Amino acid sequence: MTYNIGVIKGDGIGPEIVTEAVKVLDAIGAKFGHQFNYTQILMGGCSIDATGEPLTDEAIAAAKASDAVLMGSIGGNTSTSPWYKLPADKRPEAGLLKLRKSLNLFANLRPAYLYEELKEACPLRDDIIGEGFDMMIMRELTGGLYFGERSTKEENGQLVARDSLTYSETEIRRIAKRGFDIAMKRRKKVTSVDKANVLDSSRLWRKIVEEVAADYPEVTYEHMLVDNCAMQLVKDPGQFDVILTENMFGDILSDEASMVTGSIGMLSSASLNDTKFGLYEPSGGSAPDIAGKGIANPIATILSAAMMLRYSFDLDAEADAIEAAVKQVLKDGYRTIDIMPRDGSNVKQVGTVDMGTLIAERL
Ligand code: IPM
Ligand code: MG
């Protein structure tokens, strides 16, 4: 089969990590007899530099014309990069938000899994790690604070800023259904996270999630307040299977969850709509501080490519092969700097390109 993949390398470490994921995809194509065609798409700071816009209409059209999009990361150092002197809607992140919205990518899946081999890189105590953990953060991606009306105005002699948080029943129901569907294929537990003790949007969230839960009698489900969830993630991460939550809470909790797995460099993600199309990207950012040094961990991007094969192309065996190759490389003792064990013994530190090659060789 032939698949057309849009590729957004982006900024910072983006180009380096995407190059390794493409290397792995090409190795999969050769092994399983698929042809992957790539179309480069500009987004983020590199698009601003080239076109003045973080995402052009042509870029959106190119993404829409693809079967799926693989992305690296976008953005720069928010204190020093000239991109952050631009108005908010012209900054790199605005491109990503526009892409998510234009393609209706409302369901963001962020798996957080502790590899046996990376227990040493996990910042939690052994008794907390226990048997390890394997959770899926389901983050609503096209609503809430990210897309509400915002303004900064002078009122009574001082500046006042507003961001509004809106959720409709429809928006809540469709992500909740996705969350329960995914739970049915996993350990059948959903923790819906909100701030219903304070926010109206969370009270509606809770009501709709309860309605959806009634259609999934096999799934155990609970509500948890977001502050408690932040605490539980470091106290007892093994309790979670699917964490279902709104946009802003999901942004924050997914970074936290990734860190308990040892490194954000391991966390893949998929952003899906109602079709087979998806945008696949590592959960981490553009890490401008290490860009160009050849030390970034490409595994999250490689695992995102595996998610693309699984969710957009239904190529489960191929996705399994990539995941197995990643596990094998870790078992063989290769680590990028971010996942080096505390004592550094018995493992070999490698850079971005070598890590990609080692994974491709194990397919
Ligand atoms: C993420 C990122 C984005 C977000 C930024 C880059 C806008 O942090 O994908 O988690 O907040 O959604
Ligand atoms: Mg984030």
Query: Is 200 one of the catalytic residues?
Result: no
Average pLDDT estimate for 121-135: 90
Tell me the residue ranges of DSSP E strands in the chain: 2-10, 35-40, 68-73, 107-113, 134-140, 150-155, 158-163, 189-194, 220-225, 242-245, 270-272, 278-280, 334-335, 348-349
Q: What is the pLDDT of residue 246?
A: 98
Q: How confident is the model at residue 211 (pLDDT cuts 50, 70, 90)?
A: very high
Query: pLDDT for 40-72, tens place per residue?
Result: 999 999 999 999 999 999 999 999 999 999 999
Residue 260 pLDDT class (50, 70, 90 cuts): confident
Task: Look at residue 288 in the predicted model and tell me its pLDDT.
Answer: 96
What is the rounded average pLDDT for all residues in the chain? 96
Residues of the chain with CATH 3.40.718.10: 1-107+265-363, 123-260
Other CB atoms within 10 A of residue 252 CB: 14
Ligand 1 atom nearest the C-alpha of 255 is 10
| 131 — pLDDT class (breaks 50, 70, 90) | confident
- The residues, ordered by sequence, that sit 6+ positions from 232 with a Cβ below 8 Å of its Cβ are 224, 239, 240
**Range list of H helices, 185-276:** 200-214, 226-235, 247-260
Q: CATH number of the domain at 1-107+265-363, please? A: 3.40.718.10
Q: What is the pTM of this model?
A: 0.94
**181: which 2 tokens?**
């569907």
* pLDDT tier at 295, thresholds 50, 70, 90: very high
**pLDDT value, residue 265:** 86
Report the length, in residues, of the chain.
363
What residue owns the CA closest to ligand 1's atom 10? 251
Q: Report pLDDT for 264.
A: 81
Catalytic residue among 3, 9, 67, 146: 146
- CATH 3.40.718.10 holds for 123-260: yes
Confidence class of residue 83 from pLDDT cuts 50, 70 and 90?
very high
Mean pLDDT confidence for 291-318:
97
Name the DSSP letter for residue 114: -
Report the pLDDT value the prediction gives residue 258, as an integer from 0 to 100.
85
